[in-house]
Structure 1
């Protein structure tokens, strides 16, 4: 049976995913050429929360999928 992560593990996973989401949103901003800073702001919010939550829920499996996606 899979253990639920404790508070500290959940926080660490969410934090790492959140930071990765910031970098991913900034990369998409430059690659796709968003027109406004408001677009960048909402990209940061969306990507950071999305990557943070997915990382906290799926843990190492999430990071393995991200790693294989970039290869």
Structure 2
């Protein structure tokens, strides 16, 4: 996997708009974008817009990861 930050600022607090990560497979095919916000995560598969992405709140994400 290759994951890169679209816009990087050093030592920044994540605000409402969040930070968007590009996600590629090992063949350099774009899989989607992961948007990390202060309220949770939003996975945008392929060229899906953030409005149509799959969202999960931090509390739900943490609970799922700790199962």
The structure that is helix-richer by fraction is 1
Higher relative contact order (CA closer than 8 Å, sequence separation 6+): 1
TM-score, length-normalised on structure 1? 0.31
TM-score, length-normalised on structure 2? 0.32
The structure that is strand-richer by fraction is 2
